[in-house]
Amino acid sequence: MLPNPSLSRQQRQRSQRTVGGGVRSFVVGSFVTLLLFGALVPRLSFLQLSEGELNQQRAEENRIRLIPKRPERGKILDRKGRILANSTYTYSVFVWPVAQKDAKWPQTVKVLSDILNMPAADIQARVEQEGQNSTSLIRVTRGLSFPQVVALSERTSDIVGVEIDKEAIRYYPHGELAAQVIGYIGEISEEELTRKRKQDQPYRLGDVIGQLGIEASYEQTLRGTWGGNQIEVDGSGRIVRILGQKLPIAGTDVQLTLDIDVNGRRNKH
């Protein structure tokens, strides 16, 4: 097409420069879009492949819980290896706090109250102290008689979140002999529990702890390492299945320079 003779030279030059401008803009825009898309695809792939497993693990952690199991306490021995403090076993009854969310929980408390001869309010208060979301087993009482164990075992269909298990308790075969040196253990108080938790020490409600003497001085040695059951729970906190078990590790024995024979003769004179 011939140039319009009525247009000035400057106007014709401007018109020629704008011919094809829209096409060039489209091409440049498309190229930039492709570059951005090309940069996003590897990033999305990275998130899916490398972080997908991490995200899946976080989701798993939301429904996997560890139910702790206490270890046996280490022995205290005299200089000749004779036992000054040991552990014997008794039956204790525990409950899982998450069981409170179950519709049968009031019935469970009533059954426990009747068989254990404990006020229902005391059982409820003990469990509430730890909180519904706790994964720790809460001891209701220890030292169950054989008839009580049988009675609870026969009512398993009526009670939820209850576990009967053997538990190690402290035994001093020589009675009061050398008691001022050996010391004793007792259930941890609320004040002690708060202090231990502030120090990031793994103590729980109902734990026993050295209160005096060697029992207190060598608490960390005698205590042992907790184990537990890894369980799967649903969205309501109900146990679906047991996934695995980590056995607890017993505490280390402590041998003293004390001779129980010499100490016993001294006490007789």
Per residue of the chain (269 residues), give pLDDT as tens: 445 555 555 555 555 554 555 555 555 555 555 555 555 556 555 555 555 555 555 445 456 766 777 788 999 999 999 999 999 888 999 888 777 777 888 999 999 999 999 999 999 988 887 776 666 678 889 889 999 999 999 988 888 888 888 888 899 999 988 899 999 998 888 888 888 888 888 787 778 899 999 999 999 999 998 887 777 766 555 667 778 888 889 999 999 999 988 766 656 65
Q: Does 231 share its domain with 131? A: yes
> Do 130 and 161 meet the contact criterion of CB atoms below 8 Å apart?
no
Q: Does 146 share its domain with 28? A: no
Final residue of a structural domain among 62, 85, 115: 62
Alpha carbons within 13 angstroms on the beta-carbon side of residue 85 total 30
Q: Does 29 share its domain with 103? A: no
What's the domain count of the chain?
2
Q: Does 55 share its domain with 143? A: no
Q: Does 231 share its domain with 153? A: yes
Q: What is the pLDDT of residue 58?
A: 47
Q: What is the pLDDT of residue 158?
A: 82
Q: Does 151 share its domain with 125? A: yes
Q: Does 198 share its domain with 121? A: yes
Q: Does 5 share its domain with 104? A: no
Q: Does 43 share its domain with 29? A: yes
Q: What is the pLDDT of residue 49?
A: 56
Q: Does 104 share its domain with 232? A: yes
Q: What is the span of the domain harbouring residue 35?
A: 1-62
Q: Does 48 share its domain with 76? A: no
Final residue of a structural domain among 38, 62, 86: 62
What is the per-residue burial (b if ≥16 Cβ within 10 Å, else e) of 235-246? eebebeeeeeee
Final residue of a structural domain among 39, 62, 85: 62
Q: What is the pLDDT of residue 97?
A: 79
Q: Does 53 share its domain with 83? A: no
Distance CA 257, CA 79 (A): 5
